[in-house]
Amino acid sequence: MTIPRTATAVTTLAMSALVGWTGAAPAWGSAAASGSAPVSDAAPRSSSPDLSRYLGQRLDWGPCPADATELTEAGAQCAQVTVPLDYSAPDGRSIKLAISRIKAKDGARRRGILLSNPGGPGGPGLSYTAQLRPAMKDAADGYDLIGFDPRFVGRSTPIYCGLSLQGKPTHSRREAFEASVQNARETARLCYEHGDNAALLPHASSRNVARDMDLIRAVLGERKLSFYGVSYGADLGATYAQMFPGHADRIVIDSVTDPTLTQYENFQAAGAAQESGLNEWAAWTAQRSNEYRLGRTPQQVRAVVERLSARVDAGPLPIGDYTVHANVLGLILRQMVGTEESNPTLAKTVRNLVDAADGKQVQPVPELRMWLELFRNPSPELDNQFSSGNAIFCGDGGWPAGGWPADPEQYWQNIERARRTQPVFAATANAIFPCPFWKTQPRESGVEIGNRVPLLLLQATRDNNVPYAGAVVMHRKLKGSRMISADIRSHGVYGREVDGLTPISCADRAVNAYLRTGTLPAADINCAP
């Protein structure tokens, strides 16, 4: 089963693809970020660090990796860009970024370059712009489509920590919590000690990814760049527009977080939205009681899920050759409840798990088996996505990184408090991460968003990964933005047809018109499926 592009990294499942901002102004780019005045050339401004060592590099374009079939079929070429590990010390160590390029079809009307990011953090993006091309239709013809793996991800000087996502057997909520604290502590320690991560981890941040994007732009000889990002990629697009307003061309950000909240607060905010999504799914499932046998009313269906959750809290649930632990169940339910089109998958999965809980000899349905297999046998690619995602979460602003509470007991108190109204998702939404125990301290504050850069923002009104209210706040902070709202339960609005989901045609048309013409809609838009 293919994981949709909006959940391209399992980090999106395991970490929700959220990032918040705290702190003060950007470090380099534009400190004021009040507009998008033109620049005289493609090079960074004179107030930036001396990057002359990097600006003159010649890229050795050649065939893309053999397993990047979408790039090969599109006739793309790939190369490596050298960037500073530490932008405050550009004469020091450098790292490599993997990039791809599909040249503009319409050379006479070529606009420039368009980069993208699929989310995570930790999602590899080398092929992502190629994946977007069908959704862009003829709007793609005027751009060189540039894909890239962000620093420390995929083929871009990757970070590995040798982590395992396998859960330990626990038999109570408190025991499960204690295990999660120990796992977070050990993850932080092991990641710091693995390879030369001690040197790399201090330079994992959204600020540095945005700087890498701007250096890619400069090396390619472009005065500006256009961009599409979803989930964490949307937050990254907002970060880039804030840091480099003069280099931001046509920016589209899809499914953002609340820029006034910390990372942890953004996770917490999603808990109530996920319970609402579960209510929607329960109503849908109750109407199909003969098929799924989970109850004839929404209340009955929800009660089944709550009993299942309590059963797994009390001890691991065997199903076929696999075992479902409490933390894994919460993450799987969270992922499946995020999209309306996943209603049947969630219903089949719950029915399957209830049968196992009733002592029936059943095997996991294919959709459940996929996730259980990933958790049981994490690959090096999954290790990299998980580890690089943690590095960004823990490297973005504040201490403890990203505003994560330092006292583990605070997480437990928040979980127990949230259970009163969030019986299924409280533990997931308030979970502890490795960040309170991270061994490297963030070098900079997070980026404070607030500018008038023109850009287009999309958000699903019933997104329960990053709730709609946060996007409204982002829209207010981005005073030059227009917002497209889609009345769907989904994480990601643009180009859904590429993933086999119901397209939001009015949103797709608006995005493509903006990418073609550079003209934002005259007013905010509300789209229906």
pLDDT band of 5, cuts 50, 70, 90: very low
pLDDT in the model for residue 106: 84
Assess whether pLDDT exceeds 80 at residue 243: yes
Helices (H) and strands (E) in the chain, counts: 19, 11
pLDDT band of 189, cuts 50, 70, 90: very high
| Average predicted confidence (pLDDT) for the chain | 90
pLDDT in the model for residue 48: 65
In percent, how much of the chain has pLDDT > 90? Answer: 84
pLDDT in the model for residue 167: 63
Which residue did the predictor score with more confidence, 400 or 101?
101
First and final CA of the chain: distance in angstroms?
A: 25
- Order across the sheet with 112-117: list the strands: 77-84, 94-102, 143-148, 112-117, 225-230, 248-254, 455-460, 481-486, 525-527
Mean pLDDT of 143-167: 91
pLDDT band of 464, cuts 50, 70, 90: very high
pTM for the predicted model, two decimal places: 0.92
**Considering Cα of 263, then 268, then 272, then 274, what sign does the dihedral take?**
positive
Assess whether pLDDT exceeds 60 at residue 7: no
Q: Which of 4, 6, 113, 146 is nearest to 463 (CA)?
A: 6
Q: Alpha helix (H) ranges present in 38-172?
A: 52-55, 69-73, 128-136
pLDDT in the model for residue 304: 98
pLDDT band of 2, cuts 50, 70, 90: very low
pLDDT band of 166, cuts 50, 70, 90: low
pLDDT in the model for residue 445: 87
Which tokens hold the place of 131? 């994946």
Which tokens hold the place of 29? 């780019």
Mean pLDDT of 152-175: 88
- For residue 137, the SS3 value is helix
How many angstroms separate the CA atoms of 142 and 4, rounded?
26
Mean pLDDT of 510-522: 98
Assess whether pLDDT exceeds 90 at residue 470: yes
Architecture of domain 5-160+197-262+448-527: 3-Layer(aba) Sandwich (3.40)
Summarize pLDDT for 328-365 with one digit per residue, the tens: 999 999 999 999 999 999 999 999 999 999 999 999 99
The reply to whether omega before 400 is within 30° of 0 (cis) is yes
pLDDT in the model for residue 523: 98
pLDDT in the model for residue 168: 75
CB-based contact 269:259 (threshold 8 Å) = no
Assess whether pLDDT exceeds 50 at residue 41: no
Across 57-71, 310-324, 436-450, least confident range: 436-450
The residues, ordered by sequence, that sit 6+ positions from 471 with a Cβ below 8 Å of its Cβ are 255, 256, 258, 457, 459, 463, 483
Assess whether pLDDT exceeds 60 at residue 312: yes
Assess whether pLDDT exceeds 50 at residue 404: yes
Which tokens hold the place of 513? 């018109």
Exposed, middle or buried: residue 257 (CB in 10 Å: 0-12, 13-18, 19+)? buried
pLDDT in the model for residue 12: 39
Q: What are phi and psi of 91, to 5 degrees?
A: -85, 0
pLDDT in the model for residue 402: 60
Mean pLDDT of 213-237: 98
Partners of 318 in beta bridges? 323
Domain extents in the chain: 5-160+197-262+448-527
C-alpha atoms less than 13 angstroms from C-alpha of 299 in its C-beta half-sphere: 0
